[in-house]
A and B are shown apart, each in its own frame.
Chain A
Amino acid sequence: MDNFKPWMILRVSDIEVIFGGLAALNRVSFELKPGIIKAIIGPNGAGKSTLLNVITGLIAPDWGTIKFKGHFLDHVPPHRVSQFGISRTFQHVETFEKMTVLENVMIGRHNHMFTNFFECGIKLPKVRREETRIQNEALELLEFIGLQDKAEEEASSLPLGDQKLMEIARGLATQPDLICLDEPAAGLNESDTFRVSKIIEQIKLRGIAVLLIEHDMKLIMDISDEILVLNHGQIIAEGTPKEIQSDPKVIEAYLGGEIANA
């Protein structure tokens, strides 16, 4: 029964989520190879975000299993999922207010710090050492994302595009093997979108797998290795961008001319 292929980093099997009698996800199964970019597309309400929420532990599936690096992750609370190596960003940014950009990213390194309540309270030297270490690591990530100049600014005062980038840096700070990006380019202008796409490609170069939800078809077709198409909670197609573009089911179900033009 369990034919888990060792080279697959993530395996989602038969996931069902039912909201008020309606199946938001219906027997969704797919696999993810490490270090590739897999896009999940589909019309609004197709269940894309629900699928990410299930994978990251925010929603417990009514049926089905999720296996990540050999661990079953269904019914594991979200903070544990993060410790297993799955990170994420949010469709509507979840910026921590009244905190600087740097502090926001440092939250991502929370589980790479080991001092406890009392050690923090009496400020042992190792607390300060650890703090400096984490600060430098967070700064490195901000540099990677291109926000190093805004490190000390209050995060919630940044423009949306920068907040979305900051969320990616924060997500990477947990040192994941898989990062789920929920519409990283939504609401961004063209140049910001371009920045995001370059960053996603670099994330892949770092060996981190990416699950990407996006509506921007050009972005998807440009950077993803595989595409999964959801409609009404079901997978209707899966394949390379080329295959998806020419799949009559996909064209009929949702994209029409848009996908062919991209």
Chain B
Amino acid sequence: MFRIGRRSRIFFVCALLIAPWIIQVIPTISHYLDVLVFAGIYTLITIGLSLLMGYAGQISLGHAAFFGIGAYISGILTVQYEWNPWFCMLVGVVVTVLVAFLIGTPALKLKGHYLAMATLAFGIVVFIFFNEEVAVTGGPDGMGGIPGLSIWGYSFDTELKYYYLVWGIVAAVFLFSVNLVHSRLGRALRAIHTSEIGANAMGVNVSVYKIQIFVYSAALASIAGSLYAHYINFISPGTFDLSFSVKLLIMIVIGGMYSIWGAILGAVLISFLSFEWLEMFKEYEILVFGLILLFVTIFLPDGIISLPKKLRGIMGKSKKPSGQKRD
């Protein structure tokens, strides 16, 4: 795994703090701030997915559903019952944790493709629920008028304020997750990834850790959903369909799923690609994504985050005397 140095952390924080000011100065890219808010929201989900897929080796195609549950609970409770948004966010997390626990307990007994299928089915069921329960969710027309977030009278009403809020939460989640990865828990997850039998024989209760990390990643997706709902103030089922789950997978595969940095990079990169840089391809956008995915999986199986390491490897190799026996 990639050790995360103190220097790159400080650099990352500085970049986060400065980025909006640079963006706002340059008029042609001033709307990038909006993209970065979405990127932050997606990053919350991909960090969880990176732990679940990259570290523990469990595939989920249902995280759009957890994202949706968070968003809809925030939406419904704030619009129809006028509860405090922060409290709704908490309710969303609690509900998601329960749902993830109920879904995960049987599903995580399945392996590989079967787990993917089970979570896929769950995602579809939730999507149908959002669509059909018109009285509760507003159905396909969606649900509007979701209030913004504020705390003690300070309202996060501009893009800049929301940017700092979202990325502040990302930073906290990032630290928490990195700590997890470098603890006994992260070690157990990585062991489970390659050999469940081996981990079991060493006394690791495999199913407990798989469920813990599944629930954790679902909770992060739920928080992201709430933040999303309060940011754009309008939600509709289309956002939470299967294609979003797939997009999340693309994010972590392209960024590099064996590293939390990769999850961040992937989320930011794909956000910019899909909101900005691939606009001109219109409906062919998905083709371009396919090509990128193909390229990355063939040439950089550990994701773009592994590019510097790989380049160093190539440089190092070319310095070696030729004619050496390879094995």
Contact = CB atoms under 8 A, between A and B. Distances in A.
Nearest to B208: A79
B183 A174 contact: no
Contacts of A241: none
A93 to B, nearest CB: 9
Contacts of A110: 184, 187-188, 202-204
A113 B179 contact: no
A171 B186 CA distance: 20
Interface string A127-138: 100110010000
B198 A90 contact: yes
A115 B194 contact: no
Interface string A112-150: 010101001111000100110010000000000000000
A95 interface: yes
B1 A120 contact: no
B187 A107 contact: yes
A115 B179 CA distance: 12
Contacts of A123: 179, 183
Contacts of A134: 184
B195 interface: yes
Given A56-B201, A88-B201, A97-B194, A117 B187 contact: no
A121 B179 contact: yes
Interface string A76-94: 0111001100011010001
User: How big is chain A's contact interface, by range?
Assistant: 35 or more
A179 to B, nearest CB: 11
Interface in A153-186: 170-171, 173-174
Interface stretch (A61-69, A98-106, A207-215, A227-235): A98-106
Contacts of B216: 117
A90 B196 CA distance: 13
Nearest to B173: A121
A85 to B, nearest CB: 10
16 contacts: A58-B197, A77-B200, A78-B201, A79-B201, A79-B204, A79-B206, A82-B201, A82-B202, A94-B198, A98-B1, A104-B191, A106-B187, A117-B180, A117-B185, A120-B179, A120-B186
Given A107-B187, A117-B180, 20 more contacts: A58-B197, A78-B200, A82-B200, A94-B198, A95-B195, A95-B198, A97-B193, A98-B1, A98-B258, A99-B190, A103-B187, A104-B191, A107-B188, A107-B204, A110-B188, A110-B203, A117-B185, A117-B212, A121-B176, A174-B203
